[in-house]
């Protein structure tokens, strides 16, 4: 990026000093003569057609690749709609409208290139550009018959920024430029509204003082306040002409005092100064942070648009309005908007007068209305999207001031996209590309009724979208009990852990006071499609007292709150919600995505309930069934604990024998739901201590044991044993501890039970003539011997079961998670043995980057804020780091087995950028939580379309 001079607040650099460009002065003769020549070129070429403009213009050492100014007006324009890089979005739009014959007030655009030069050139615009400006002002004058700075028929202009990407409200604008004592008179004559003109003048001086001269708004506001006090009035609108005139005088005094210079009366000076101020505003703090937030490059620069002012307040044949070509809330195809006669743009927005619905204009000014409809229809067709437009009617003549793609609700966006495809206005590909996949989320969850009154009491992280109301409960048990009783329940916890799973299932929503976007609560809730707000730090959760305190507000158990998981807002009481609609336009739209996408989309689903949800959302298989989630149900957990407490293989086997029918039952139900679609089942993964209760709880239970009970000794012994095992299993870094295949290797009998359950379940389903394709997945493999060890167990048990039932030709796969960096390094070796890979990008990210998902929240937030990391790598794959490993893994794996099936599972499987990455890597599928399946389907389609475009461009 260019070096930027620091601009002091409060006092602007003196931009009006005589042109003494030191670079130009120090130039050699040769360079000077080249420059001269080029200057001549510019002038010559400017009058000729745009196509002939020389591609390189040099001013001093600074080379212009393009002419510095592009004119539009009188039905012609130097630029066009494709030149957003050079003219900014607004400039390109104005040029395009002018070209297509739409009435636009004439004006010109100073290019973004000039902005870059301005920054390279010590914050000065080369004087050649000033001379060019004079020429184009003259052209405007000749079109309009007005004159810049003229006291009879003055030309007033607006000076607006216009960057390549819209940054609404971020940069500066000066309106009514050209006003001074002389032109004031002219304008009063034109508008016949002295007070209005004085008020404009007051605003112009204030705007100029603030934007261009850098004086605090406060200073000006104080003057108005003092005047209102003096005049004992409350509204600005009550100020009279003499008041305004006095205020302007005082404003000018402030300016003189602050800058040491008089307020510039010369319109040309005003123009140059405003132009430079707009250039400077590219680097104001608001703009910088907006760009950061929206991933806009810092070196694009802004263009400046100088355009003739038109006035909608020149009597009843004048007016102004705004509108949309389709309804932006519903998407219905109807002309939508409002207007006011004899008014300026501000008045429509300010709400002092009530605007009329736009259809009324058809009655009041039928010709203008017809023209407006024609124009906007043309604009929609031309731009192939809903248009959001502004217009002004000056003395019966319609001017379009702006048109741009209209913002709309997601619901509307969907309808518009589907309608436009049917109208053959856009292709299916275009419809798909127009949709930000993340927005789909809003369509899949219940949402708050926008008409409802809400009272927000706290805000946390929007951890899992959707909305829910319910009575609050503080333990999983209480939540389950209440839900069984039919209540809608909100589970409130400091943070959740696997023990809470059943409670989370039972709840309509989850609120935690700790943890980030990837905390346990957030991840599990997203998986379940439950609304969740995590890390709501204002909420003090007191489980013992069964109360939730927010500030001074205390909410007791069973009282009702509402969560908006899409915004992170917590509300008191019940708020009405609207259920999602997955058929109709939604289904049609998604079917187009499926036609196009190459990646398969599977779901992470642990239970038949999840699987049903997943299919509803269009999942093409299960990419990850976490068998341990079957272990947490009340009737199973104690058996699992017996298994963990076992002192011998025999005891452990005994417990496993009791677990077998449960797992078999679940797998059977899962296979039945999936009905022949592939189901990837991961063997036990989490460290065993996750299945044991909290240490403190056990310690308390021990103190509460009844010593007179005849079973006291037995009970005490068992609880002491649990305590002892908790201590034995305690790990400093459980994430890197005894889990994954390391469990199955040390306790092969666990893997044996799980495989037996899978194959027996598959056999039972097959008996009913249904197809089953189980894919057994070994987690956390880092060394080939780990995989071989578990593969042997799987094959041995599977063959044993199949032999017993005399089943032949049964297909099942044995594959592995690639989630440890080392597995990537030996992916070729593993591919020799494995039928498939599934990248576990959560753990792979944790280990590759050295971030604990549970702990990194604090500094990761700081990292993203401070731009040390571009994004949270747990939300979107870190393509430069983790992504390189994935690429390596795919290459190595396929080098040995070219048709190796490869997918990813984990949170990234539902992230659009990550999905595009997976598509580029040539993966076979992504797997994500059921509620993200539609997002993944759309993202996968978009990835295919983008690739096609790239290929087409390359082939050109």
When binding is defined by CB under 8 A, the residue of 560, 849, 875, 896 that contacts its own copies is: 849
Among the listed ranges 346-354, 446-454, 814-822, 937-945, the one in contact with its own copies (CB under 8 A) is 814-822
Binds its own copies (CB under 8 A): choice among 443, 480, 511, 856: 856
| 3-class DSSP assignment, residue 47 | helix
When asked if residue 840 is in the footprint of its own copies (CB under 8 A), the reply is no
Q: With the CA atoms of 231, 237, 238 and 244 taken in that order, what torsion angle do they form, in degrees rounded to the nearest 10?
A: 60
Tell me if 832 contacts its own copies by CB under 8 A: no
Beta bridge partners of 601: 926
Stretch that binds its own copies, among 46-54, 641-649, 763-771, 850-858 (CB under 8 A): 850-858
Tell me whether strands 461-464 and 531-534 are parallel, antiparallel or unpaired. Answer: antiparallel
Decide the pairing of beta strands 813-818 and 836-840: parallel
As a whole number of angstroms, the distance between CA 425 and CA 420 comes to 5
Footprint on residues 763-782 left by its own copies (CB under 8 A): 780, 782
Does residue 855 bind its own copies (CB under 8 A)? yes
How many other CB atoms are found less than 10 A from the CB of residue 294?
Answer: 11
Using an 8 Å Cβ cutoff, are 598 and 924 in contact?
no
- If the CB atoms of residues 712 and 859 are measured against its own copies, the closer one turns out to be 859
- Least gap, CB of 783 to its own copies (angstroms): 6
Residues 724-753 that bind its own copies (CB under 8 A): 731-738, 740, 742, 745-746
Check binding of 647 to its own copies (CB under 8 A).
no
CB of 864 to its own copies, least distance (A): 11
* Min dist. Cβ of residue 872 to its own copies (A): 13
Q: Is 769 left (phi over 0), alpha (psi -120 to 50) or beta?
A: left
| Lateral strand order in the sheet of 461-464 | 456-459, 569-572, 560-564, 467-473, 489-493, 509-512, 531-534, 461-464
Element at 57 (helix H, strand E): strand 57-59
Could you give phi then psi for residue 322, rounded to 5 degrees? -135, 160
Contact indicator for 206, 220 with CB cutoff of 8 Å? yes
Question: Residue 866 interacts with its own copies (CB under 8 A)?
Answer: yes
Residue in this structure with the two tokens 């049903």, named with its chain if needed? 612
Q: Smallest Cα–Cα separation from 923: which of 606, 437, 597, 610?
A: 597
User: Could you give the CA distance from residue 503 to residue 496 in angstroms, rounded to a whole number?
Assistant: 10
Site for its own copies contains 858 (CB under 8 A)? yes
Nearer to its own copies, 624 or 847 (CB): 847
By CB under 8 A, residue 874 contacts its own copies: no
> Which residues, at least 6 apart from 737, have a Cβ–Cβ distance to it below 8 Å?
687, 731
516 binds its own copies (CB under 8 A): no
CB of 776: closest distance to its own copies in angstroms? 19
- In the bound state with its own copies, the residue whose beta carbon lies nearer, of 220 and 691, is 691
**Smallest distance from its own copies to CB 774, Å:** 25
Between 878 and 911, CB nearer to its own copies: 878
Residues 6+ apart with CB under 8 A from 656: 643, 749, 750, 752, 753
Active-site annotation holder among 66, 445, 505, 520: 520
Q: Which residues, other chains included, contact 17 with Cβ-Cβ below 8 Å and sequence gap of 6+?
A: none
Q: Which residue has the tokens 């979107």?
A: 876
In whole angstroms, the minimum distance from the beta carbon of 734 to its own copies comes to 7
The piece of 150-158, 630-638, 639-647, 840-848 that touches its own copies (CB under 8 A) is 840-848
- From the list 419, 854, 913, 947, which residue makes contact with its own copies (rule: CB under 8 A)? 854
* Spatial contact of 223 and 246, defined as CB atoms under 8 Å apart: no
Query: Does 795 engage in binding with its own copies (CB under 8 A)?
Result: no
Residue 193 or 852: the one with the smaller Cβ distance to its own copies is: 852
Question: Which residue, 674 or 904, is less far from its own copies as judged by CB?
Answer: 904
Query: Smallest distance, Å, CB 875 to its own copies?
Result: 16
The question of whether 805 is a catalytic residue gets the answer: no
Nearer to its own copies, 662 or 863 (CB): 863
What is the number of other CB atoms lying within 10 angstroms of the CB of residue 412? 20
- For residues 764 and 239, what is the distance between their CA atoms, to the nearest angstrom? 86
CB-wise, 34 or 735, nearer to its own copies?
735
716 binds its own copies (CB under 8 A): no
Under rule CB under 8 A, residue 863 binds its own copies:
yes
Q: Is residue 127 at the binding interface for its own copies, with CB under 8 A as the rule?
A: no
User: What 3-state DSSP class applies to 631?
Assistant: coil
Block residue for tokens 């010369």: 266
Name the residue nearer to its own copies (CB basis): 303 or 824: 824
Candidates 110-118, 437-445, 755-763, 857-865 — which segment interacts with its own copies by CB under 8 A? 857-865
Helices 933-955 and 584-596 pack at an angle, to 10 degrees, of: 50
Query: Interaction with its own copies in 876-905: which residues (CB under 8 A)?
Result: 878, 880-882, 884-885
Q: Is 293 in the site for its own copies (CB under 8 A)?
A: no
Spatial contact of 602 and 906, defined as CB atoms under 8 Å apart: no
- In the three-class reduction of DSSP (H, G, I as helix; E, B as strand; rest coil), residue 154 is classed as strand
Minimum separation from the CB atom of position 64 to its own copies (A): 32
Q: What is the DSSP letter of 906?
A: S
- Count the alpha carbons within 13 Å of 917 in the hemisphere toward its beta carbon: 23
Binds its own copies by CB under 8 A, chosen from 851, 917, 925, 931: 851
**Beta carbon nearer to its own copies, 610 or 819:** 819
Helix (H, G, I), strand (E, B) or coil at 585: helix
The Cα 799–Cα 810 span in angstroms is 10
Site string for its own copies, 603-642 (x = CB under 8 A): ----------------------------------------
905 among known catalytic residues: yes
Which residue in 532, 625, 905, 928 is the catalytic one?
905
The verdict on 238 binding its own copies (CB under 8 A) reads: no
Q: Which of 346, 450, 868, 895 binds its own copies (CB under 8 A)?
A: 868
- Minimum gap (Å) between residue 850 Cβ and its own copies: 4
Residues 877, 871: Cα–Cα separation, whole Å: 9
Min separation Cβ 750 and its own copies, Å: 14
Burial 923-940 (b: 16+ CB within 10 A, else e): bbbbbbbbbbbbbbbbbb
Q: Is 156 exposed, middle or buried, given 0-12, 13-18 or 19+ CB atoms closer than 10 A?
A: buried
Q: Which of 137, 155, 820, 905 binds its own copies (CB under 8 A)?
A: 820
Residue 3 makes contact with its own copies by CB under 8 A: no
**Beta-strand relationship, 509-512 and 456-459:** unpaired
Q: Which is nearer to its own copies, 192 or 792 (CB)?
A: 792
Upper half-sphere CA count for residue 731 (Cβ side, 13 Å): 13
Query: Which parts of this chain interact with its own copies (CB under 8 A)?
Result: 731-738, 740, 742, 745-746, 780, 782-783, 785-786, 789, 819-822, 825-826, 843, 846-852, 854-856, 858-859, 862-863, 866-869, 878, 880-882, 884-885
Catalytic sites, residue numbers:
520, 905
């Amino acid at each position: 990026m260019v070096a930027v001079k620091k601009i002091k607040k409060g006092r602007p650099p003196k931009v009006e000093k005589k042109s003494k460009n030191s670079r130009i002065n120090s130039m050699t003769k040769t360079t000077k003569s080249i420059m001269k020549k080029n200057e001549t070129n510019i002038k010559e070429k400017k009058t000729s057609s745009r196509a002939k403009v020389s591609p390189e213009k040099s001013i001093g050492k600074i080379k212009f690749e393009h002419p510095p100014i592009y004119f539009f007006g009188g039905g012609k324009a130097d630029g066009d709609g494709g030149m957003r890089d050079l003219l900014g979005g607004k400039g390109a739009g104005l040029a395009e409208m002018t070209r297509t014959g739409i009435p636009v007030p004439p004006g010109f655009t100073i290019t973004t290139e000039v902005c870059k030069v301005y920054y390279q050139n010590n914050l000065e615009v080369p004087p050649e550009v000033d001379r060019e400006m004079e020429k184009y002002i003259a052209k405007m004058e000749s079109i309009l018959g007005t004159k810049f700075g003229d006291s009879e028929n003055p030309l007033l202009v607006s000076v607006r920024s216009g960057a390549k990407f819209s940054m609404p409200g971020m940069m500066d604008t000066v309106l009514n430029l050209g006003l001074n004592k002389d032109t004031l008179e002219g304008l009063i004559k034109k508008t016949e509204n002295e007070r209005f003109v004085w008020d404009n003048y007051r605003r112009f001086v204030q705007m100029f003082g603030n934007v261009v001269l850098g004086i605090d708004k406060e200073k000006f506001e104080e003057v108005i306040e003092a005047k209102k006090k003096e005049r004992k009035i409350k509204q600005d609108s009550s100020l009279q002409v003499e008041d305004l005139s006095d205020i302007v005088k005082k404003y000018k005094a402030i300016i003189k005092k602050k800058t040491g210079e008089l307020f510039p009366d010369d319109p040309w000076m005003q123009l140059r100064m405003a132009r430079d101020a707009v250039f400077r505003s590219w680097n104001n703090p608001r703009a910088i942070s907006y760009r950061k937030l929206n991933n806009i490059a810092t070196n694009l620069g802004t263009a400046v648009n100088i355009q003739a002012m038109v006035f909608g307040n020149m009597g009843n044949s004048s007016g102004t309005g705004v509108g949309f070509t389709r309804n932006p809330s519903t998407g219905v195809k109807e002309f939508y908007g409002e207007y006011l006669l004899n008014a300026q743009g501000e008045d429509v927005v300010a709400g002092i007068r009530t605007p009329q619905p736009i259809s009324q204009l058809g009655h009041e000014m039928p010709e203008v209305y017809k023209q407006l409809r024609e124009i906007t229809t043309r604009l929609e067709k031309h731009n192939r999207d809903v248009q959001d437009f502004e217009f002004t009617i000056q003395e019966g003549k319609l001017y379009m001031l702006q048109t741009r793609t209209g913002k709309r609700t997601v619901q509307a966006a969907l309808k518009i996209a589907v309608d436009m495809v049917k109208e053959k206005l856009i292709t299916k590909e275009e419809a798909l590309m127009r949709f930000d996949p993340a927005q789909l989320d809003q369509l899949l969850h219940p949402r708050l009724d926008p008409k409802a009154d809400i009272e927000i009491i706290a805000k946390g992280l929007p951890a899992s979208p959707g909305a829910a109301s319910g009575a609050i409960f503080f333990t999983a048990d209480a939540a389950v009990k209440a839900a069984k009783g039919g209540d809608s329940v909100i589970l409130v916890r400091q943070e959740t852990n696997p023990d809470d799973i059943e409670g989370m299932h039972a709840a309509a929503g989850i609120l935690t006071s700790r943890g980030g976007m990837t905390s346990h609560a957030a991840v599990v809730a997203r998986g379940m499609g439950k609304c969740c707000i995590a890390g709501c730090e204002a909420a003090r959760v007191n489980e013992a007292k069964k109360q939730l305190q927010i500030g001074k507000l205390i909410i007791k158990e069973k009282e009702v709150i509402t969560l908006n998981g899409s915004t992170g807002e917590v509300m008191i009481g019940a708020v009405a919600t609207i259920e999602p609609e997955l058929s109709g336009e939604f289904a049609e739209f998604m079917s187009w995505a499926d036609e196009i996408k190459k990646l398969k989309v599977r779901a992470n689903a642990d239970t038949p309930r999840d699987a049903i949800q997943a299919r509803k959302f269009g999942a093409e298989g299960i990419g990850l069934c976490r068998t341990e989630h079957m272990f947490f149900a009340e009737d199973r957990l104690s058996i699992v604990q017996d298994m963990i407490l076992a002192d011998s293989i025999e005891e452990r086997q005994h417990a496993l024998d009791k677990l077998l029918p449960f797992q078999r039952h679940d797998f059977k139900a899962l296979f039945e739901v999936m009905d022949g679609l592939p189901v990837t089942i991961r063997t036990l993964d989490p460290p065993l201590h996750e299945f044991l209760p909290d240490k403190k709880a056990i310690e308390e239970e021990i103190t509460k044991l009844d010593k007179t009970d005849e079973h006291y000794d037995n009970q005490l012994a068992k609880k002491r044993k649990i305590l002892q095992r908790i201590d034995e299993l305690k790990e400093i870094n459980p994430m890197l501890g005894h889990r994954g295949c390391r469990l199955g290797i040390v306790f092969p009998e666990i893997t044996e039970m799980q495989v037996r359950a899978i194959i027996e379940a598959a056999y039972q389903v097959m008996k009913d003539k249904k197809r089953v394709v189980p894919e057994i997945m070994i987690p956390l493999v880092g060394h080939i011997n780990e995989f071989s060890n578990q593969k042997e167990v799987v094959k041995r048990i599977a063959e044993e079961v199949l032999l017993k039932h005399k089943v032949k030709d049964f297909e099942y796969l044995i594959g592995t998670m690639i989630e440890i960096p080392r597995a990537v390094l030996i992916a070729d070796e593993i591919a020799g043995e494995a039928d498939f890979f599934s990248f576990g990008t959560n753990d792979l990210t944790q280990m590759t980057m050295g971030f604990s998902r549970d702990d990194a929240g604090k500094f990761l937030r700081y990292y993203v804020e401070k731009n040390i990391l571009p994004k949270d790598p747990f939300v979107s794959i870190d393509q430069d780091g983790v992504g390189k490993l994935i690429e390596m893994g795919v290459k190595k794996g396929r080098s040995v087995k070219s048709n190796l099936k490869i997918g990813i599972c984990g949170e990234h499987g539902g992230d659009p950028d990550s999905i595009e990455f997976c598509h580029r890597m040539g993966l076979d599928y992504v797997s994500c939580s059921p509620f993200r399946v539609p997002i993944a389907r759309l993202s996968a389609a978009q990835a295919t379309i983008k690739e096609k475009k790239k290929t087409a461009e390359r082939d050109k």
